[in-house]
């Protein structure tokens, strides 16, 4: 079929004002079916946004059955037979706009940026943190206990991404990654790893300037000769206040948004009305990607999600609409470890002693000479979380600080998105937040066709009340890196309690 360059520079069929369907069939096989509704605009054609229907119809490995259709303005519509096929289609429609961005997100989550792109611009440090915190055991744990629908969805997503790479070999990819060795097929571990990497970025970003640098800088002091005195945990040798002004990191570093939900008393037809105004970046893996998702009789939702998302994250279905804004709740706490005399890598825990884990990370780094060399770095871990250290929170002979974040290794958000996409009321939205892990960084605003509205700030966070603070808080430490923090004693009696109603 003759083709013409689209606005994005990808080939699309020469067809205006009509839908183009092409199919490839063979007995006993399920298929990918691509449709493109294109229209003329300023002498150029828009529509498929990177998919050539004539070239991309064929048998889909794995038994997936999905129809992809792009309507005017490049909105993808994914109609699938089952959850696995839906995941396949979602990955396939995200790739035309942002293949290079998706590939970079995978590279980041794998901790392999420096191997292909060099150590600059924080890539080496990012790789060390990803490898140190997102270990194979953590990734495996994230995959356990997920609903069958989520497992099928993520497996399909991996297959859809890989199929797009197969259909678009290196010489047919965008200029930013054309022929790049780092654009590679992904495996089953990459989907949960992407979710974990996103949670990690949000968790470490809660501290102004990022806590990642403090994790990498943590190094025990040289043991002093003789018996070292144990510093008092109640009076840490750091400033109690910081001269720099307190800043709201959520407004600077994390995605945010505005939302207004109108209930039955505020609308003419007494149905709910929702205005969603998410504030996400215009580039990178966090950029919102519009899509319409359908599994006949099971799911029919429309809206947007980050490029690595497998389901609509801000959107609506027939009965309910939902969106998110930045939550100001603190997800992390600092804990002061009391170290053993003469042993700065061992700490007291009640009547026992524990050793810090010395986690050695080795990554490959591309040098300016074009050669790859190993880089080794140690990250120190306690059972509460990673050790942090800087000028404000020094690691002394008697005391070290650890960062414990409730969302640091949260990867069960897909369960929440699944329940939101299939919700039928604001009550269902509330149940979705309570059943899964809620939101790792956001509040939720929703409205339904019955005229009910909802505002909820439900998610993983420290379960700390006033009585707990009186018993376990360290009032002398109120700020770190120009931001308010919650500092606690590190002791069994000061473990953050679990709420019986919390998943």
pLDDT tens per residue across span 154-165: 999 999 999 999
Rg (CA), the chain: 25
Instruction: Say what angle helices 148-167 and 83-110 make with each other, to 10 degrees.
Output: 70
- Residue 1: what pLDDT? 34
Helical H segments across 386-481, by residue range: 413-421, 426-435, 466-472
- The Cα angle at residue 264 between residues 263 and 266, in degrees rounded to 5: 70
In the chain, which stretches have pLDDT less than 50? 1-31, 36-47, 49-50, 53-56, 227-252
Q: pLDDT tens, 168-198? A: 999 999 999 999 999 999 999 999 899 888 8
Give the span between the Cα atoms of 501 and 476, in whole angstroms: 32
Give the span between the Cα atoms of 349 and 372, in whole angstroms: 42
Beta-ladder partners of 443: 325
- Residue 49: what pLDDT? 47
Q: Are 83 and 294 in contact (CB under 8 A)?
A: no
Pairing type for strands 343-349 and 332-340 reads antiparallel
Closest Cα partner for 418 from 329, 317, 327?
317
- Residue 117: what pLDDT? 96
- Residue 96: what pLDDT? 87
- Residue 111: what pLDDT? 95
CA distances (Å), origin 2, targets 11, 47, 51, 52, 111:
9, 15, 14, 11, 42
- Residue 74: what pLDDT? 85
Q: Are 354 and 347 in contact (CB under 8 A)?
A: yes
- Residue 434: what pLDDT? 86
Closest Cα partner for 40 from 70, 6, 10, 77?
6
């Amino acid at each position: 079929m003759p083709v013409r360059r689209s606005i994005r520079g990808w080939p699309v069929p020469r067809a205006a004002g009509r839908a183009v369907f092409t199919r490839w069939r063979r007995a006993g096989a399920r298929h990918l079916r691509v449709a493109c509704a294109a229209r003329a605009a300023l002498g150029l054609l828009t529509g498929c946004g990177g998919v050539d229907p004539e070239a991309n119809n064929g048998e889909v490995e794995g038994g997936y059955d999905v129809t992809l259709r792009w309507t005017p303005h490049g909105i993808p519509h994914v109609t699938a037979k089952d959850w696995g096929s839906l995941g396949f289609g979602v990955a396939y429609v995200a790739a035309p706009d942002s293949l290079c961005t998706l590939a970079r997100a995978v590279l980041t989550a794998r901790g392999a940026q420096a191997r292909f792109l060099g150590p600059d611009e924080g890539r080496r440090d990012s790789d060390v943190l990803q490898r140190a915190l997102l270990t194979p055991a953590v990734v495996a744990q994230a995959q356990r206990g997920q609903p069958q629908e989520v497992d099928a969805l993520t497996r399909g997503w991996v297959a859809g991404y890989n199929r797009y790479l197969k259909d678009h070999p290196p010489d047919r990819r965008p200029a930013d990654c054309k022929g790049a060795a780092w654009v590679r097929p992904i495996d089953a571990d990459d989907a949960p790893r992407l979710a974990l990497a996103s949670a990690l970025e949000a968790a470490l970003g809660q501290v102004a300037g990022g806590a990642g640098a403090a994790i990498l800088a943590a190094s025990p002091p040289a043991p002093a000769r003789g018996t070292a005195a144990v510093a008092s945990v109640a009076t840490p040798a750091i400033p109690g206040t910081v001269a720099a002004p307190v800043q709201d990191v959520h407004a600077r570093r994390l995605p945010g948004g505005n939302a207004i939900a109108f209930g039955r008393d505020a609308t003419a037809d007494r149905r709910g009305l929702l205005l969603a105004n998410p504030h996400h970046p215009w580039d990178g893996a966090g950029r919102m990607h519009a899509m319409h998702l359908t599994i006949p009789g099971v799911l029919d939702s429309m809206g947007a999600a980050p490029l690595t998302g497998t389901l609509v994250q801000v959107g609506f279905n027939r009965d309910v609409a939902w969106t998110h804004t930045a939550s100001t709740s603190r997800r992390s706490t600092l804990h002061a470890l009391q170290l053993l005399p003469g042993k700065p890598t061992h700490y007291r825990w009640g009547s026992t002693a524990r050793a810090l884990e010395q986690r050695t990370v080795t990554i490959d780094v591309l040098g300016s000479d074009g050669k790859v060399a190993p880089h080794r770095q140690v990250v120190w871990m306690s059972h509460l979380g990673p050790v942090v250290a800087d000028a404000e929170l020094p690691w002394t002979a008697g005391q070290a600080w650890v960062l414990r974040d409730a969302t640091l290794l949260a990867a069960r958000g897909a369960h929440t998105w699944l329940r939101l996409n299939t919700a039928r009321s604001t009550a269902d939205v509330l149940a979705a937040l309570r059943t899964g892990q809620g939101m790792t960084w956001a509040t939720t605003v929703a409205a339904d066709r019955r005229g009910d509205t909802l505002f909820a700030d439900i998610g993983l966070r420290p379960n700390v009340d006033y009585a707990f603070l009186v018993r376990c808080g360290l009032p002398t430490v109120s700020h770190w890196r120009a931001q308010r923090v919650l500092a606690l004693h590190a002791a069994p009696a000061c473990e953050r309690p679990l709420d019986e109603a919390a998943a």
